[in-house]
Structure 1
Amino acid sequence: MEQAVQHRGRKPLMAAGALGVAAALGLAAAFGGTTAVAGTPTAVQGLAATASLPNPYGGGSSSGSGGYGGYGGYGVDPFGGSGGSTGNGYSGGSSGNSSGSSGQAPTANQQVGLVYIDTVLGYQDAAAAGTGLVLTSNGQILTNNHVIEGSTSITVTIVTTGQTYQASVVGTDVQDDIAVLQLGDASGLTTANFGTSADLQVGESVVGVGNAGGDGGTPSAAAGVVSALNQTITTQAEGSAAGETLTGLIETTADIQSGDSGGPLFDANDEVVGIDTAAEVVAGQSENGYAIPIDTALGIAKQIITGDESDGVRIGYPAFLGVQVQSAATAGTGTGRSRSGSSSTGTAGALIGGVVSGSPAEQAGLTAGDTVTGIDDRAVSSADGLSTALAAHNPGDRVSVTWVDSSGAKHSATVTLAQGPAA
């Protein structure tokens, strides 16, 4: 039987008339299937659909593959300090968008510290939604990296109060799929009830809670059991988010849905023991869900918050040149995990399929059809090489860019790198 494992955040949001029903709901039937076997590195299916939205940066939509170079107890604060009072969550009534296997709404305790995350993917004319948890009373939020990857605007809503904040990225860990956000002008927030994943056992009861369907409202709750520990999966690309291999995961029978990523997996004591991130899909139906153990997630979050930029952690936003890297077959928007191309002159480098209006690249004079061959003293021989070169820089850095145009003429300019979308 054909299976697929999907990220369960970044529920694509549909603009009126933009997508068919299957694509808008992120159904597996809308995409090609690939085999997935839990417990081993697997090729798995991501949610590839995104909704077309008005482009706030001007210009039309584009599609295809490629990438923009350079995206390259309650109230306990897990990092110290007071988390405030426990607060009262919504009452556990009927949930209009609940899609959990038990059909239940979460308890009030399970909603404490829960947030909804809505993102605008401005350079892809799209929007997406996911879930997160309040880490600290001053508004630091824990979620999956793929929930916010490629975003140009992030809005976070506290579920128990309905209060909404604009958020910025504190840091990300792409390889472990963890991100920490900071809410603007937030204080006195009640944190989630974090437990430990160290004592989890197969057969233990768990509940996954989140923004299933990405529709907001009362959260969904999906009951299940821990079916395996220390699992490895590999996801495929989901919209702007590239595929990734994740290890050490909790496998659960809880029906984790699109939009749940970044949300909590609770144990029987209503303590967070995992961060929901993916689900196995069989014939279009969710089967096993996967969660990052909370001990792992909190360890990475602490590293991000302390500014330790090692072991795959990036602090803040990436530098942004603003070029759309074209693959050998097609071009399109993306997040910097780009493909190689070569110009009509045969020059090795990163072939440019398009340039973002107002970007440093446009100001330097780069145009579609040019091939970037170097950043400062570093030669660029491929699209991935361009992403790697830019990843070594921060927004505001001045760099020298060299390129060859379609006629074979060589050019060079110094640019100031801008702040890119979340990496």
Structure 2
Amino acid sequence: MSGSHRPSRWWLLSVAAASIATVGLGLVAPVQAAPTLPAPPLDPGAMVAQVGPAVVNIDTQMNYQSAVGAGTGIVLDPSGVVLTNNHVIAGATGLTAVSVGNGQSYDVDVLGFDRSHDVAVLQLRGASGLPAANIGTSSRVAVGDPVVAMGNSGGHGGTPTAVPGRVVALNQTVSAADELTGTTETLNNMIKADTPIRPGDSGGPMVNAAGQVIGMNTAASDNYKFAQPGGEGYAIPIDQAMAIAGQIRAGISSSTVHIGETAFMGVGVVDDNGGARVATVLADTPAAGTGIAKDDVITSINGRPVNSATDLTDVLDQCHPGDVVTLTWRSPANGEHSATVTLVPGPVG
């Protein structure tokens, strides 16, 4: 019997001795930290009730493409200043927005856009007293944070749809191609969340547990395609979007920011070796009077080489209606041509 108790007795003595030695040396025994439990997921309904009134549903008419589109916007100011994605309004010949807060429909003016960062700022005509979003900061967003992404999913209008999830990565890079303009852009510093956002959600808010907007949703759509590793669940950090919005609201143009009406020439282009190949020439536009035709390749504008569809768009983004530009192109049958073109107001972005 005594043999069966001895191991237990020596084990107790060894623990006691270790404790005495630790205290005697003035050391603190390590304490095992309790594991940190993840924050619970957010309630989408509660977030919609809190943030939804500061959302607008955007409808676009694209007469040159015989198409319509839909997206979302975030109200920044009670006077109707709205933040959205540039690709939501790109190619639009007409824009309307419906406030979720008051149900009223507004015609829309575009204050400006930054195509390369996919940001645009709108003004709702005649708006006043609209609920404005609580803008947070993206600087403190961390992987694992619970979020809710909301927007005009599927273009159905009405109360925003909302999907809960968590931030799964930061500082992500996504390549996107706009089939309406033929341009390609690379979006950097994106927030990635496991929120399955859909076309129509673009421009909507991604919010944190406090109901603060920490990102602007950017989703692929019929005309706006993500390349790998693209997909759904990406948001532009709100600090980045708000910095660009502030520049636009101040009327400060730059190499990437266009202020005011969009200059329009009337050609649709796609990438071609050494230039931008004309896919279509729209009737009754400045380009139609030059003789340029389908499959011609634009090689320069105002003496600046055009090596891609994006190059052409970048040059036109620095122009305004009424500007006169010199267009040079190469015809498969008739060689080099040049003509001056007076730009006119045209589709947005």
Q: Residue 135 of structure 1: SS of its match in structure 2? A: strand
What is the correspondence of 1:143-222 to structure 2 with a 5 Å cutoff?
143-222=84-163
1:254 aligned to which of 162, 176, 195: 195
What is the correspondence of 1:14-53 to structure 2 with a 5 Å cutoff?
none
Aligned-residue Cα RMSD (Å) equals: 3.1
1:319 aligns with 2:245: no
Provide the rounded CA distance (Å) in 1 between the counterparts of 2:70 and 2:316: 28
Per-residue displacement from partner, 1:185-214 (whole Å, max 9, x unpaired)?
Answer: 222322112122222222222111111121
1:301 aligned to which of 241, 245, 262: 245
Deviation at 1:142, TM superposition (A): 0.1
Q: Percent identity at matched positions?
A: 46
2:272 aligned to which of 298, 317, 340: 340
Aligned twin of 1:418? 344
Aligned twin of 2:234? 290
Provide the rounded CA distance (Å) in 1 between the counterparts of 2:336 and 2:157: 52
Equivalent residues of 1:249, 1:291 under 8 A apart: yes
Provide the rounded CA distance (Å) in 1 between the counterparts of 2:288 and 2:209: 55
Provide the rounded CA distance (Å) in 2 between the counterparts of 1:213 and 1:389: 33
Deviation at 1:306, TM superposition (A): 1.0
Q: Residue 219 of structure 2: SS of its match in structure 1? A: strand
Q: Which has the larger radius of gyration?
A: 2
Residue identity opposite 1:179 in structure 2: A
Q: 1:304 to 1:404 in 2, by over 3 A?
A: same
Deviation at 1:295, TM superposition (A): 1.4
Q: 1:362 to 1:106 in 2, by over 3 A?
A: same
Equivalent residues of 2:101, 2:131 under 8 A apart: no
Per-residue displacement from partner, 1:1-52 (whole Å, max 9, x unpaired)?
Answer: xxxxxxxxxxxxxxxxxxxxxxxxxxxxxxxxxxxxxxxxxxxxxxxxxxxx
Deviation at 1:136, TM superposition (A): 1.6
Deviation at 1:368, TM superposition (A): 3.7
Of 253-262 and 386-395, more deviation after overlay is shown by 386-395
Aligned twin of 1:125? 66
Per-residue displacement from partner, 1:317-337 (whole Å, max 9, x unpaired)?
Answer: 332111233xxxxxxxxxxxx
Per-residue displacement from partner, 1:77-134 (whole Å, max 9, x unpaired)?
Answer: xxxxxxxxxxxxxxxxxxxxxxxx9775753212121101111122211111111111
Provide the rounded CA distance (Å) in 2 between the counterparts of 1:170 and 1:179: 8
Aligned twin of 1:52? none
1:142 aligns with 2:56: no
Q: Would you tell me which structure has more strand in proportion to its own residues?
A: 2
Per-residue displacement from partner, 1:141-160 (whole Å, max 9, x unpaired)?
Answer: 10111111122211111012
Deviation at 1:381, TM superposition (A): 6.5
Q: Residue 340 of structure 2: SS of its match in structure 1? A: strand
Provide the rounded CA distance (Å) in 2 between the counterparts of 1:379 and 1:144: 28
Deviation at 1:233, TM superposition (A): 2.4
Deviation at 1:302, TM superposition (A): 0.3
Aligned twin of 2:320? 394
Provide the rounded CA distance (Å) in 1 between the counterparts of 2:82 and 2:182: 19
Provide the rounded CA distance (Å) in 1 between the counterparts of 2:243 and 2:300: 37
Residue identity opposite 1:394 in structure 2: H
Q: 1:408 to 1:215 in 2, by over 3 A?
A: same
Provide the rounded CA distance (Å) in 2 between the counterparts of 1:388 and 1:246: 16
Tell me the TM-score normalized by structure 1.
Answer: 0.63
Structure 1 stretches of 4+ moved >6 Å: none
Provide the rounded CA distance (Å) in 2 between the counterparts of 1:372 and 1:225: 46
Q: Residue 231 of structure 1: SS of its match in structure 2? A: strand
Provide the rounded CA distance (Å) in 2 between the counterparts of 1:171 and 1:394: 12
Q: 1:238 to 1:192 in 2, by over 3 A?
A: farther
Equivalent residues of 1:235, 1:243 under 8 A apart: yes
Provide the rounded CA distance (Å) in 2 between the counterparts of 1:268 and 1:129: 27
Per-residue displacement from partner, 1:375-421 (whole Å, max 9, x unpaired)?
Answer: 44456576555445444422111234455666527655433111232
Provide the rounded CA distance (Å) in 1 between the counterparts of 2:267 and 2:161: 40
Provide the rounded CA distance (Å) in 2 between the counterparts of 1:413 and 1:373: 12
Q: 1:268 to 1:374 in 2, by over 3 A?
A: closer
Q: Residue 399 of structure 1: SS of its match in structure 2? A: strand
Equivalent residues of 2:134, 2:211 under 8 A apart: yes
Q: Residue 295 of structure 1: SS of its match in structure 2? A: helix
Provide the rounded CA distance (Å) in 2 between the counterparts of 1:212 and 1:102: 18
Aligned twin of 2:218? 277
Provide the rounded CA distance (Å) in 1 between the counterparts of 2:239 and 2:310: 33
Provide the rounded CA distance (Å) in 1 between the counterparts of 2:246 and 2:293: 42
Residue identity opposite 1:339 in structure 2: D
Q: Residue 258 of structure 1: SS of its match in structure 2? A: coil
Q: Residue 190 of structure 1: SS of its match in structure 2? A: coil
State the number of aligned residues. 300
Q: Residue 298 of structure 1: SS of its match in structure 2? A: helix
Q: Residue 117 of structure 2: SS of its match in structure 1? A: coil
Residue identity opposite 1:180 in structure 2: V
Aligned twin of 1:72? none
Q: Would you tell me which structure has more helix in proportion to its own residues?
A: 2
Equivalent residues of 1:105, 1:219 under 8 A apart: no
